[in-house]
Structure 1
């Protein structure tokens, strides 16, 4: 297994949802996946709950489905969690149907602003027996063999501490050289004081962004950190609704939003968040499953990065997605 600052992960698993239409078009959506220890055994119960609310509706009305089964059911299901994960898979499946019916890709339907988008390789997890040398080998492999021009590593393990994590940052920078982009991700593991200390030290290694330093609803803390940090603050992978992102940006708490179409209820809400980001001068770098996030990230002009999980981090990916999406020689992927 591997772990970050907050969670231990075993093998990744996917929860797939299939939607069939009376016109013979089948759509597929999914969630879970990359290194996720989600209770996927609970997901079918939500599919059973949503089924009678979906059957008979127009699959082309993805907006209506997202609203009626999301915001309008908050009193019944709560604001977010497994319900929005499952709703996301249903929404994505309906977008798949919409694209097949219209003869267009989801990327095109969402705007199609970019034909190619830069990737960064997500990795640098903690693991048993993985020291600085092994971390350097990993990030060097991502650069030399995976053509990455940007890599991300984990920080925030309380047993490693600030000093130990800064040694990891230093080792990673030494391994990839001065010209490539380095990001760090704390997975909400830190308090404000520790985050501020990291923010003071990270510029020494030209770190581009500091991801999820704080618990997601600490809006005031994000605002204080962003005001003090020379490194960009990125967050959003655990945000379920537009209101969360609006509150975050009202506090000026981030420069980059890591919205995830499998966590918020699908592409419609994710596009609302992307439009808000554009209004606030904030870029989008989605979190999670690259096969789902690519249509969103490349659909908008302010899509800055696509997160890319190599097979070494998520072996299931090589079995599920064919052909395997791979970065081009310059670290971009072509839609």
Structure 2
């Protein structure tokens, strides 16, 4: 048996290209935590977007149960990681660490078998729909318009999303102004989405959604907190737009509660938070059991092979920050054409390789 020889993780902090904020948070940098697993002279790579402390969880908590394991037996190793992290606060930092390492293990297995990861999973879609995502509340009108034009008119992406719910829902007139601007820029043929990041109260979100109908908004993401299942259900029942949430859940019990509560029209799943590719397929199965589609939250290049293997997929979020980071720090990053992206099928694994010389300048742990 070829055993996993070594596990390690490194954190990189990349500044944003300008100040960014959504309805409930502001930031000026994004931290990428990269996990690697070695076996048989081959390295598998996974990553998550999380505090640098997630790298310590990989080294200090998870490595002990992953090193020495069979790289072909990922379900057993995933279970061992979850059990090992029992007292480490999962969900949370430990969930991010498990996710990054699980992705690395699947990448390692595919590379050892010398097959593209999308072939190892099996393909349900030859191409994966994407939507442009950014439109931060800190952007002025010119910056917002330029970003929307780039997605809709230069890249031909027929779906775009902006942030609303500014300052915990205290700037509704500006929210509505920015939605009107977005519709004007992209035109009537592009689907317009909004994300409040939990910035509104439930009844406030209902009132806002009625105004969004004037601009044909099709997707209302996290109008209230993802933890407020009753509030999500209230908005969904009164909304013309599809209500989506779920990305912050890091275990299947959370996704199950959300689906059973009738809280969403589409379940958002983030493999960098919910247990990697293993967690993604578990969440997708929960969604399918409730006749719901899934949408991939952020980390677009990481999600591509799993999304392509998911029958009930709606789309992937082509998130501005993560597109910048993955394109700069990895070789093999995808480029959407005509609103779709293709997972790598010409190289083993997920097809992405970290550029150590580029990444080194951003290293923080």
User: Structure 2 matches for 1:1-335, cutoff 5 A?
Assistant: 1-21=19-39, 23-32=40-49, 38-41=50-53, 43-70=55-82, 72-73=83-84, 75-127=86-138, 130-158=139-167, 161-310=171-320, 315-328=324-337, 330-335=338-343
Q: Secondary structure at the match of 2:219?
A: strand
TM-score, scaled to structure 1: 0.91
Whether the 8 Å contact between 2:34 and 2:55 is mirrored in structure 1 is: no
Whether the 8 Å contact between 1:47 and 1:86 is mirrored in structure 2 is: no
Moved more, 294-303 or 315-324: 315-324
Quick one: distance in 1 between partners of 2:30 and 2:124? Answer: 31
Distance 1:324-1:54 versus aligned 2 partners, 3 A rule: closer
Q: Secondary structure at the match of 1:199?
A: helix
1:79 positional shift? 3.1
Whether the 8 Å contact between 2:137 and 2:163 is mirrored in structure 1 is: yes
Whether the 8 Å contact between 1:226 and 1:233 is mirrored in structure 2 is: yes
Q: Secondary structure at the match of 1:230?
A: coil
Quick one: distance in 2 between partners of 1:270 and 1:147? Answer: 28
Moved more, 257-266 or 38-47: 38-47
| Runs of 4+ residues over 4 Å off in structure 1 | none
Quick one: distance in 2 between partners of 1:55 and 1:85? Answer: 19
Q: Which runs of 5+ in 1 are unaligned?
A: 33-37
Quick one: distance in 2 between partners of 1:95 and 1:289? Answer: 16
Structure having the larger proportion of residues in strand: 2
Q: Deviations over 1:221-240 (max 9, x none)?
A: 11222111111011121110
Whether the 8 Å contact between 1:116 and 1:333 is mirrored in structure 2 is: yes
Quick one: distance in 2 between partners of 1:279 and 1:93? Answer: 28
Task: Output the aligned Cα RMSD.
Answer: 1.8
Whether the 8 Å contact between 1:121 and 1:310 is mirrored in structure 2 is: yes
Distance 1:75-1:30 versus aligned 2 partners, 3 A rule: closer
Q: Deviations over 1:59-107 (max 9, x none)?
A: 222222222222x346412331110101111111110111112232222
Quick one: distance in 1 between partners of 2:309 and 2:145? Answer: 34
Q: Which runs of 5+ in 2 are unaligned?
A: 1-18, 344-365
Quick one: distance in 2 between partners of 1:61 and 1:119? Answer: 32
Whether the 8 Å contact between 2:100 and 2:276 is mirrored in structure 1 is: yes
TM-score, scaled to structure 2: 0.84
Whether the 8 Å contact between 1:11 and 1:314 is mirrored in structure 2 is: no
Quick one: distance in 2 between partners of 1:225 and 1:73? Answer: 38
1:45 positional shift? 4.2
Q: Secondary structure at the match of 1:77?
A: coil
